[in-house]
A and B are shown apart, each in its own frame.
Chain A
Amino acid sequence: DMKVTQMPRYLIKRMGENVLLECGQDMSHETMYWYRQDPGLGLQLIYISYDVDSNSEGDIPKGYRVSRKKREHFSLILDSAKTNQTSVYFCASSPRDRGGQDTQYFGPGTRLLVL
C-alpha cells in the first residue's frame, strides 16, 4: 500500500522558534515536494527535490529550507518561524517515468500554528 507520512500532524510554535517538519515515503519515489495550503491562496509549491541532495526552489521558498539525505525522507525546516508561516503543509512524492510524466501522492498534512 503506497504511503506518504508526515510528522508531526499538529504543531504549535512561538515566533522565532525553529520548526522541523518531516516527510517519509515507502515507494522509492525519486521526486518529493513540499507545499503549503492557505485559504484563498490554494496550494503553493515551496520546494521540490529530484533526489538525494538535489533540491530546487518552488514558487515560495523564502523563509524555508529543505534537506534530503535519504531518498525516502524529505524535511522542511523553518529557521526562526514567523506568524505568516502558519499554514497547513503537505508533502508529496511521485515516481518519474521516462517520459517525465507522473502523478503525485500526498501525505496527510501538518497543521502549523506560529504564535
Chain B
Amino acid sequence: GQQVQQSPASLVLQEGENAELQCNFSTSLNSMQWFYQRPGGSLVSLFYNPSGTKHSGRLTSTTVIKERRSSLHISSSQTTDSGTYLCALERNAGAKLTFGGGTRLTVRP
C-alpha cells in the first residue's frame, strides 16, 4: 500500500476561508516536508518539520510522529494560494523522500 497518503485529494475554498490538509504515513519517519507546486511549476519547500508545530505567516505545519500524521493549516486563504500541496516523508537519514499524491487547492475570489 501507499506509504504516504494525503487528504483531501482536492479542495475548493472561498477566499478568506481556512484549509486543513492532512498527510498520513505508514512507515517510520525521519522527517516530513511540505511543498507547494503551482500548475506546471516547480516545487517550493514550505516546511521541514520532523516533529511538533512550525509557523510561517499564514501557514502552520504540525507533525505528530506517534499518530503518524502531519497537517498543513492555511489561514485566511488567498487566490494566490491555489495550487498543489505535497507532503513528503523522509524514511531514514538516507535522504530519500517518498511523496504523497498531493492536495489540489483552488481558492476562488
Contacts and interface: CB of A to CB of B under 8 A. Distances in A.
Nearest to A92: B43
Given A48-B95, A94-B95, A101 B42 contact: no
B42 A106 contact: yes
21 contacts: A40-B101, A42-B86, A42-B99, A42-B100, A42-B102, A45-B97, A48-B96, A59-B96, A59-B98, A90-B42, A90-B43, A96-B95, A102-B95, A103-B33, A103-B48, A105-B45, A106-B35, A106-B42, A106-B43, A108-B41, A109-B42
Contacts, number: 57
Given A42-B102, A43-B86, A109-B42, A104 B33 contact: yes
Contacts of B35: 106
A31 to B, nearest CB: 6
A44 B102 CA distance: 13
Contacts of A90: 42-43
Contacts of B86: 42-43
Given A50-B95, A100-B30, A106-B45, 9 more contacts: A43-B99, A48-B96, A59-B96, A96-B95, A101-B31, A101-B90, A104-B33, A106-B42, A107-B42
Contacts of A109: 41-42
Interface in A82-105: 90, 92, 94, 96, 99-105
Q: Chain B: interface residue count, which band?
A: 20 to 34
Nearest to B102: A42
Contacts of A106: 35, 42-45
A101 B50 contact: yes
A58 interface: yes
Nearest to A102: B95
B105 to A, nearest CB: 16
Interface string A46-89: 00101000000011000000000000000000000000000000
A59 to B, nearest CB: 8
A4 B54 CA distance: 26
